[in-house]
C-alpha cells in the first residue's frame, strides 16, 4: 500500500514537472542530436556552435541539451524520445539518417517541435532545413580548376546521396569552366566521420596524381594528409579548418546554422513556430566561404569572390544551362536553371565526370 502511494506520488511529481516545462516563465529547452562528437572540427562542431549561439542570444531564457555520437539506427529513436521526455520544447536532429526516427517520435510528442536537417519528410510539428552547399562547391571548383597543375582534382565523397552528388557536379562544372582539361577522381569513403578512412582516401587520391583534394566528409584528416604530402591544396569542409591555412587549406565552406537556430528558437518561445522547409545558401548566410588565403593568386581570388557575390545576390545560379547529363542527354537548355525538385533528388553526374555513381 505504502509502495503504491509512493509510486503514485512519483507519477504525480512527474506530471507536475511535465506541466511545468510548458509554463511560460520556465526556460525554453532546446535539444540537439549529433551524429559525431562535438569536437569533430567539422559538421557536428558547427551545429554545436549554433547551439552555443542560441544560448548566447537568449541567456537564461533557454536551456540547451545535446547528445553526441548518436548512430543512425534504432538508437536514434531512443535518443530523441529521451530528449523529448526530458522536457525539450524544440529538438534539432542534425543528420539525414534521423529522418524516420524523428517522424516516429514526433507522432508521440505532438507538443514538441522538431527540426530535421537535410531530410524531406515533414509533419505538423516537424520542419526540415538544409543549406545549399553546392553554391559553395561552385566557388571551390573555380579555385581548384585554376590551382591544379596536374589537372587532376581528387574528391572524397561520403555516401552517394543527392547532397553529395550535387556538390561533385557543381564543383566539376565550375572547375571545367576555368580549366577545360580538368579531370575528377572520386573516392567513396562510406562514412561521414572516420579520420583513418578519410586520410587513406586522401592519400590514395594524391598517389593518383591529384594536387587538389576536395572532401565531403567531416574530419580534418584529409587536410593533415595533404599537408604531409606537400604541394596539395584542400578546402575546409563544414567548418573553417583554419588551423590548416594558408596551406594546404586555401578556403572553406562553413555551415553557419546559428541564425537559423536562433530564429526557430525564438519562434517556439513566441508561439509562432510552424513546420517549414528551409533551404538557404550564401545569400541568407547559411553557407559561408572561409577566407581565401594568399596561396591563391590574387586574380583567382578576385574571380572567386565575384562568384560568391553573384550567387549571393541571386544573379547567378550554379546550375545554369547548357548542361548535359553524364550519358550525353540534355538536362538544362541554354540559360535554363535547375529547379529545386531535381536538385533535391539528384542522382546523376553531369557530362564529363568519369566513373559511375555506386549503387
> Where on the chain is the footprint of other proteins (CB under 8 A)?
10-11, 13-14, 17-18, 37, 65-69, 71-75, 77-79, 81-83, 85-86, 96-97, 100, 104, 120, 159-162, 190, 344-347, 358-359
Closest CB 68 distance from other proteins, rounded Å: 5
Pick the closer one to other proteins by CB: 27 or 160: 160
Pick the closer one to other proteins by CB: 70 or 221: 70
Distance CA 37, CA 34 (A): 7
Pick the closer one to other proteins by CB: 82 or 313: 82
Give the cell for residue 155: 574528391
Neighbours of 267 (CB within 10 A): 16
Closest CB 18 distance from other proteins, rounded Å: 8
The C-alpha cell 582534382 sits at: 153
Closest CB 263 distance from other proteins, rounded Å: 25
Give backbone dihedrals phi and psi of 160, rounded to 5 degrees, phi first. -75, 65
Closest CB 285 distance from other proteins, rounded Å: 26
Pick the closer one to other proteins by CB: 53 or 343: 343
Pick the closer one to other proteins by CB: 61 or 85: 85
SS3 content of the chain, % helix, strand, coil (to 5): 45, 20, 35
Give backbone dihedrals phi and psi of 64, rounded to 5 degrees, phi first. -115, 145
Closest CB 86 distance from other proteins, rounded Å: 6
Pick the closer one to other proteins by CB: 70 or 300: 70
Closest CB 42 distance from other proteins, rounded Å: 16
- 330: helix, coil or strand? strand
Pick the closer one to other proteins by CB: 131 or 307: 131
Closest CB 256 distance from other proteins, rounded Å: 24
Give backbone dihedrals phi and psi of 302, rounded to 5 degrees, phi first. -60, -45
Q: How far apart are the first and last CA of the chain?
A: 62
Give the cell for residue 271: 508561439
For residue 249, how many C-alpha atoms fall within 13 Å in the half-sphere facing its CB?
Answer: 24
Pick the closer one to other proteins by CB: 300 or 338: 338
Closest CB 124 distance from other proteins, rounded Å: 17
Pick the closer one to other proteins by CB: 67 or 150: 67
Task: Tell the burial category of 155 from Cβ atoms under 10 Å away from its Cβ (0-12, 13-18, 19+).
Answer: buried
CA angle 296, 173, 160 (to 5 degrees): 105
Q: Could you tell me if 348 and 356 are in contact, meaning their C-beta atoms sit under 8 angstroms apart?
A: no
Q: Could you tell me if 256 and 46 are in contact, meaning their C-beta atoms sit under 8 angstroms apart?
A: yes
Closest CB 214 distance from other proteins, rounded Å: 21
Closest CB 357 distance from other proteins, rounded Å: 8
Q: How far is CA 32 from the centre of its chain?
A: 15
Give backbone dihedrals phi and psi of 235, rounded to 5 degrees, phi first. -130, 140
Exposure class string for 202-220: b at 16+ Cβ within 10 A, else e = bbebbeeebbbbbbbbbbb
Q: Number of helices and strands (H, E) in the chain? A: 11, 14
Pick the closer one to other proteins by CB: 49 or 227: 49
Amino acid at each position: 500500500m505504502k509502495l503504491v502511494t509512493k509510486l503514485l506520488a512519483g507519477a504525480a511529481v512527474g506530471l507536475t514537472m511535465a506541466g511545468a516545462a510548458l509554463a511560460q516563465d520556465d526556460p525554453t529547452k532546446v535539444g540537439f542530436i549529433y551524429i559525431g562528437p562535438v569536437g569533430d572540427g567539422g559538421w557536428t562542431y558547427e551545429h554545436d556552435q549554433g547551439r552555443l549561439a542560441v544560448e548566447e542570444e537568449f541567456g537564461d531564457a533557454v536551456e540547451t541539451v545535446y547528445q553526441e555520437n548518436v548512430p543512425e539506427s534504432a538508437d536514434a529513436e531512443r535518443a530523441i524520445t529521451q530528449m523529448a521526455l526530458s522536457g525539450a520544447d524544440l529538438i534539432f536532429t542534425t543528420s539525414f539518417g534521423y529522418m524516420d526516427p524523428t517522424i516516429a517520435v514526433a507522432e508521440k510528442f505532438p507538443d514538441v517541435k522538431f527540426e530535421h536537417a537535410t531530410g524531406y519528410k515533414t509533419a505538423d510539428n516537424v520542419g526540415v532545413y538544409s543549406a545549399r552547399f553546392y553554391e559553395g562547391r561552385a566557388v571551390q571548383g573555380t579555385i581548384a580548376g585554376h590551382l591544379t597543375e596536374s589537372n587532376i582534382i581528387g574528391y572524397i565523397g561520403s555516401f552517394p546521396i543527392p547532397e553529395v552528388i550535387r556538390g561533385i557536379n557543381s564543383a566539376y562544372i565550375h572547375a571545367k569552366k576555368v580549366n577545360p582539361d580538368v579531370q575528377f577522381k572520386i573516392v567513396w569513403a562510406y562514412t561521414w566521420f572516420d579520420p583513418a578512412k578519410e586520410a587513406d582516401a586522401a592519400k590514395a587520391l594524391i598517389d593518383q596524381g591529384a594536387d587538389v583534394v576536395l572532401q565531403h566528409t567531416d574530419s580534418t584528416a584529409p587536410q593533415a594528409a595533404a599537408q604531409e604530402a606537400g604541394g596539395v591544396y584542400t578546402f575546409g569542409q563544414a567548418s573553417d579548418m583554419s588551423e590548416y591555412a594558408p596551406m594546404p587549406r586555401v578556403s572553406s565552406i562553413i555551415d553557419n546554422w546559428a541564425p537559423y537556430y536562433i530564429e526557430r528558437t525564438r519562434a517556439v518561445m513566441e508561439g509562432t513556430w510552424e513546420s517549414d522547409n528551409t533551404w538557404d545558401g550564401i545569400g541568407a548566410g547559411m553557407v559561408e566561404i572561409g577566407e581565401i588565403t594568399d596561396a591563391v593568386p590574387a586574380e583567382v581570388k578576385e574571380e572567386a569572390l565575384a562568384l560568391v557575390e553573384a550567387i549571393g545576390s541571386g544573379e547567378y545560379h550554379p546550375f545554369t544551362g547548357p548542361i548535359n547529363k553524364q550519358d550525353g542527354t540534355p538536362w538544362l537548355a541554354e540559360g535554363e536553371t535547375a529547379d529545386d525538385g531535381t536538385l533535391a533528388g539528384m542522382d546523376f553526374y553531369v557530362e564529363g565526370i568519369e566513373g559511375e555513381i555506386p549503387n
